[in-house]
Structure 1
Amino acid sequence: MFRRLALVAAGTALIAATYGLVRLAFGLHLPDMSADVDFDTATAGMISAAASLVYGGAALLGFALGATRPRLLVVLALLTAGGGAVGIALAPDVVVLAASATVSSAGAGLASPAMVRIVHAAFNGHDSDSAQAIVNAGTGPGLVAAGLIALALTPDWRVAWLIAAVATLGAGLAVLALARPADASTTPARRLPPMPWWRGHRRPVAAAALFGIGAAAVWNYGRVVMVDAGASPSASVLAWVWVGCGGAAVIATAPLTRRTPPGRMWLISTAIAAGGTAALGAFPGEPVAAAAACALFGWGYIAASGALIGWTTRIDADRAAAGTAALFVVFMIGQAVGATAVGATLPVVGPLTTFVAAGALGVLAGLLAPRAHRAPARSVP
Structure 2
Amino acid sequence: MAKRSLQTRLPSAPAVPLLVPAGLSVIGVTYGLARYGYGLYLPDFRAAFPLSTTGAGVVASGSFLAYCGTAALAGHLVVRGRARRALWLAGGSAALGSAVVATAWSWQVLAVGVLVAGSGAGFATPALVAAVAATVPAEGEPQAQGVVNSGTGAGIVLGGLVVLAAPGTWREVWAGFAVVALLATWWADRCTAWPPGPHRPAPGPGGVRVLALRRPLAAAAVAGVGSASVWTFGRDLLTEAGLSSAVTGLLWCLLGAAGLVGGLSGHLVDRFGVRVAWPVSVGLCAAAVVLLAAAPGSLPASAVSLTCFGAGFVALTGVLIAWGAGTAPHAAGQAAAVVFIGLTAGQACGAVLLGALAGTTGVPVAFVVAAGLLGLAATATSGGAPAVHVGEQVPPRPSRSHRTPRDAAGRRARDCTP
> Taking structure 2 as the reference length, what is the TM-score of the superposition?
0.82
User: Which 10-residue stretch deviates more, 200-209 or 292-301?
Assistant: 200-209
Q: How far did 1:244 drift?
A: 1.0
Equivalence map 1:1-381=2 (5 Å): 3-67=15-79, 68-122=81-135, 126=139, 128-182=141-195, 188-189=201-202, 194=206, 197-250=209-262, 253=264, 256-257=267-268, 259-260=270-271, 263=274, 264-315=276-327, 319-369=331-381, 370-373=385-388, 375-378=392-395
SS for the counterpart of 2:362 is helix
The 3 A distance-change label for structure 1 pair 61 and 180 is: same
Q: How far did 1:287 drift?
A: 1.4
SS for the counterpart of 2:380 is coil
User: CA contact under 8 A between 2:54 and 2:356: conserved in structure 1?
Assistant: yes
Structure 2: gaps of 5 or more residues: 1-12, 396-406, 411-418
SS for the counterpart of 1:48 is helix
Q: How far did 1:60 drift?
A: 1.3
User: CA contact under 8 A between 1:89 and 1:161: conserved in structure 2?
Assistant: yes
Structure 1: gaps of 5 or more residues: none
Letter in 2 for 1:327: V
User: CA contact under 8 A between 1:32 and 1:157: conserved in structure 2?
Assistant: yes
The 3 A distance-change label for structure 1 pair 2 and 249 is: farther
Tell me how far apart the structure 2 counterparts of residues 255 and 201 of structure 1 sit (CA, whole Å). 20
SS for the counterpart of 2:357 is helix
Q: Deviations over 1:95-135 (max 9, x none)?
A: 21111111111100111222233334545765644433332
Identity of aligned residues (%): 33
Tell me how far apart the structure 1 counterparts of residues 262 and 294 of structure 2 sit (CA, whole Å). 25
Q: How far did 1:255 drift?
A: 8.0
Q: Deviations over 1:213-257 (max 9, x none)?
A: 111000110111112222222222222121112112345x47845
Q: Deviations over 1:167-224 (max 9, x none)?
A: 2112211221122223988964359x83654344222211211111111000110111
User: CA contact under 8 A between 1:197 and 1:315: conserved in structure 2?
Assistant: no
Tell me how far apart the structure 2 counterparts of residues 185 and 261 of structure 1 sit (CA, whole Å). 41
User: CA contact under 8 A between 2:329 and 2:394: conserved in structure 1?
Assistant: yes
User: CA contact under 8 A between 2:82 and 2:198: conserved in structure 1?
Assistant: no
Tell me how far apart the structure 2 counterparts of residues 256 and 27 of structure 1 sit (CA, whole Å). 30
Tell me how far apart the structure 1 counterparts of residues 321 and 134 of structure 2 sit (CA, whole Å). 15
User: CA contact under 8 A between 2:285 and 2:312: conserved in structure 1?
Assistant: yes
Tell me how far apart the structure 1 counterparts of residues 96 and 297 of structure 2 sit (CA, whole Å). 35
> Taking structure 1 as the reference length, what is the TM-score of the superposition?
0.89
User: CA contact under 8 A between 1:212 and 1:333: conserved in structure 2?
Assistant: yes
The 3 A distance-change label for structure 1 pair 214 and 126 is: farther
Tell me how far apart the structure 2 counterparts of residues 83 and 227 of structure 1 sit (CA, whole Å). 28
Tell me how far apart the structure 2 counterparts of residues 28 and 274 of structure 1 sit (CA, whole Å). 20
User: CA contact under 8 A between 2:208 and 2:331: conserved in structure 1?
Assistant: no
Q: How far did 1:357 drift?
A: 2.0
Q: How many residues align?
A: 378
Tell me how far apart the structure 2 counterparts of residues 202 and 176 of structure 1 sit (CA, whole Å). 37
Tell me how far apart the structure 2 counterparts of residues 57 and 325 of structure 1 sit (CA, whole Å). 11
Q: How far did 1:53 drift?
A: 1.0
Q: How far did 1:18 drift?
A: 0.4
- What RMSD in Å do the two structures reach over aligned CA positions? 2.7
User: CA contact under 8 A between 1:113 and 1:322: conserved in structure 2?
Assistant: no
Tell me how far apart the structure 1 counterparts of residues 164 and 56 of structure 2 sit (CA, whole Å). 21
Tell me how far apart the structure 2 counterparts of residues 115 and 318 of structure 1 sit (CA, whole Å). 21
Tell me how far apart the structure 1 counterparts of residues 134 and 291 of structure 2 sit (CA, whole Å). 41
Tell me how far apart the structure 2 counterparts of residues 276 and 118 of structure 1 sit (CA, whole Å). 36
The 3 A distance-change label for structure 1 pair 122 and 275 is: farther
Tell me how far apart the structure 1 counterparts of residues 24 and 196 of structure 2 sit (CA, whole Å). 17
Tell me how far apart the structure 1 counterparts of residues 155 and 66 of structure 2 sit (CA, whole Å). 21
User: Which 10-residue stretch deviates more, 22-31 or 351-360?
Assistant: 351-360
The 3 A distance-change label for structure 1 pair 125 and 376 is: farther
Letter in 2 for 1:73: A
Tell me how far apart the structure 1 counterparts of residues 289 and 302 of structure 2 sit (CA, whole Å). 10
Tell me how far apart the structure 1 counterparts of residues 121 and 394 of structure 2 sit (CA, whole Å). 27
Which structure has the greater CA radius of gyration?
A: 2
